[in-house]
Amino acid sequence: MTTPVRRHRGGAVQDRPVGWARNPLTEFDQLLSEMSGLIESTVGGAAPAVAWTPLADVTESDDAFHIEIDLPGVKSKDIDVQANGPELVVTGEIKEKERKGVLRRSTRRTGAFEYRLRLPGEVDTEKVNAQMSDGVLTITVPKAEVAKPRHVEISETSESTGSSG
């Protein structure tokens, strides 16, 4: 079976198969955003605002979970981070800039955003740390003492080969 390829308007074949190196969730998110914009334009902005989810990476080390959320152009005062047990909720809003002239195209996200994450295991919500640098919000959620892995040493015991009679 051959893999489908996408042709450009001039009939030239694109060298990558359709869907290659793409994230289908990103495309779905873009489609949802475009549909939301279409509804807003037809209804006149009366549609309820739906919070969008920013892109993020979550990594785990032996002692903590590390979350990096892309929020370019957002000030730390416009972000709210809440840790409630194993759930982390980051909310905020990117306000539309006032522009002069006619806006021909806009692909930047604006409006309310919300990022929710349920962390596995026990975490120490009292020691959660959040820092904003270069448009990336970095949150460190330490693991609770009981949840941290502990290395157990194995001791050698010499077996006595005593004779039994």
What's the confidence (pLDDT) of residue 103? 76
Three state DSSP letters for the chain:
CCCCEEECCCCCEEEEECCCCCCHHHHHHHHHHHHHHHHHHHHCCCCCCCCECCCEEEEECCCEEEEEEECCCCCHHHEEEEEECCEEEEEEEECCCCCCCCCCCCCCCCEEEEEEEECCCCECHHHCEEEEECCEEEEEEEECHHHCCCCCCCCCCCCCCCCCC
What's the confidence (pLDDT) of residue 47? 45
What's the confidence (pLDDT) of residue 45? 52
For residue 139, count other CB atoms closer than 10 A to its CB. Answer: 23
What's the confidence (pLDDT) of residue 58? 94
CATH classification for the domain delimited by 50-97+109-134, as one of 2.60.40.790, 3.40.50.12780, 3.40.50.720, 3.30.450.20: 2.60.40.790
What's the confidence (pLDDT) of residue 131? 94
CA–CA separation, 123 and 96 (whole Å):
36
Would you kindly state where each structural domain of the chain is located, as residue ranges? Answer: 50-97+109-134
Dihedral sign (CA 11, 12, 13, 19): negative
Q: Each residue's pLDDT tens digit in the chain (165 positions)?
A: 555 555 555 555 444 455 555 666 777 777 877 777 777 666 655 445 568 899 999 999 989 999 999 999 888 899 999 998 889 999 998 888 788 888 778 777 888 999 999 988 888 888 999 999 999 999 999 988 875 677 788 888 887 655 555
CA–CA separation, 123 and 67 (whole Å):
14
